[in-house]
Amino acid sequence: MEGLQGTSAPGEARKAWTRVRANLRESAGIRLFEQWLKPMELIDGDGNSDDGDTIRLGLPSAFMTNWVRSHYADRLMMEFKALLPRVRSVSIETRIAGPTPVVLTAESGTAAPASPTVASAVPPGPVAIRPVLDARFTFDRFVVDTSNRVAFNAARTLSEPGPPRFSPLFLHAGTGQGKTHLMHAIGHAFLEARPGATVICMSAERFMYDFVAAMRARDTFSFKQRLRNADLLLIDDLQFIAGKDATQEEFFHTVNEIMSAGKRLVISADRCPQALDGVEARIVSRMSAGLVADIKAPDLALRRAILTRKCADIDAAVPTAVLDLLAARIHANIRELEGALNRVVAYAQLTGDTIDLDFAVATLGDVLRGAQRRVTIDEIQKLVSAHFELKPLDLISARRSRVVARPRQIAMYLAKRLTTRSLPEIGRKFGGRDHSTVIHAVRKIEELRDTDRDIDTAVRVFLRELEA
């Protein structure tokens, strides 16, 4: 049924695979596991390696194979290596006619064509290395505005044919702001223009791990040759080599070789070069010699545009009010923003419920409470009353004329979206009104936002000001 190619202890491999599958099921969740990972099997047959250092996994379609390579290659390598230390590589293959199997080496994010024998984690000779790049992270799918335009244009320029206009490109931003997206987009565009090029994409932590492994194996020459033969080298999260003297020494020489050869180098970190504590001054100097581009935190308009694009990508119909809620309340980083949207859509699909404001709040209660700025109902009442040239007391009065009722409904709507107060609490803050009045106000403003441009514009202004 299931087995390991060429291992001297197939029973161990089967036991390890059972453990790995169980771990994947727990970490990935039932739905993702059932769709993508459950169909994967160990392949029986003539082994790739006499000493059992290669695991072969098979999937029933090329599409599934590519998805698992892109999203779970590193995890599979880590899981198998933890259980079977002798494992040096994992091959993820299509079990029907399809692309040439790819052996994923211990290097994160790199792959090379499978060969009859895998003697080490480093492909011998000047073989073109195809990085495992996330198919979602392309230039076309990167939403651009003033906060990231310089970084985006610099990334596109570096990926274009011809001599590089600058190198290295140093991208810095906080977690989840789009650095990795741009790095993968550079790799995609570079390989599209030069199909035979050698591209390596790895984290600084993986650089350190592989360098230490090469030293222990007394084979640093292969490690150096592999990196310095790259036409494009992408190193993510440079801050992780801070304080690692031996790794920094090798990194410095690698950077020098790449730059001296006129090749392309892209580095990312969570801060600018001069703010990297524990990184040698000469490395900082080399990074500063190229183009340094930062990505600022996305403002409300960009977060909203990203959500619209994400909905189009996943073909999900999400009401405007829900997208506005997510954009206004989740502003730490783009990754959390997209994760919140994915969660709402996934829960709706699993439960069969309709996505609306109440469903989103119920689904993301903890997320929204943790991400929001502490907006008070008093702040909302003051802002709304000032905008409509009313007194705050008018909003809590018994007056029911349209000139007061509509602003009151808007204020209730904002209170429901921007505070953690319950419906009865909101009602009490508006002159002791019943919770059903608050529900009616929220639904009414949601409807008007789709049909009345003035109301929609006013609500957007209030959201921006209250968030700021």
Binding-site positions read 176, 178-180
Alpha-carbon distance of 138 to 144, in angstroms, equals 12
Concatenating the DSSP letter of every residue in 189-240 gives HHHHH-TT--EEEEEHHHHHHHHHHHHHTT-HHHHHHHHHT-SEEEEE-GGG
In 3D, which of 64, 22, 16, 19 has the Cα closest to residue 40?
64
Alpha-carbon distance of 58 to 111, in angstroms, equals 16
Name residue 65's amino acid: T
**Is residue 102 helix, strand or coil?**
strand
Binding-site residues for ATP sit at 176, 178-180
Crossing angle for the helix pair 453-467 and 300-314, nearest 10 degrees? Answer: 120
Report the length, in residues, of the chain: 468
- What is the distance, to the nearest Å, from the Cα of residue 330 to the centroid of all Cα atoms in its chain? 15
Residue with tokens 């590589």: 89
Q: Which residues pair with 203 in a beta bridge?
A: 236
In 3D, which of 14, 36, 170 has the Cα closest to residue 80?
14
Alpha-carbon distance of 19 to 40, in angstroms, equals 14
Name residue 297's amino acid: A
Name residue 445's amino acid: I
Alpha-carbon distance of 257 to 228, in angstroms, equals 7
Alpha-carbon distance of 41 to 36, in angstroms, equals 12
Question: In sequence order, which residues have a C-beta less than 8 Å from that of residue 456 and are 6 or more positions away?
Answer: 448, 449, 450
- SS3 of the chain: helix, strand, coil, percent, to 5: 55, 10, 35
Q: Which residues pair with 57 in a beta bridge?
A: 42, 92
In terms of DSSP H, where are the helices of 388-451?
A: 392-396, 402-418, 423-429, 435-451
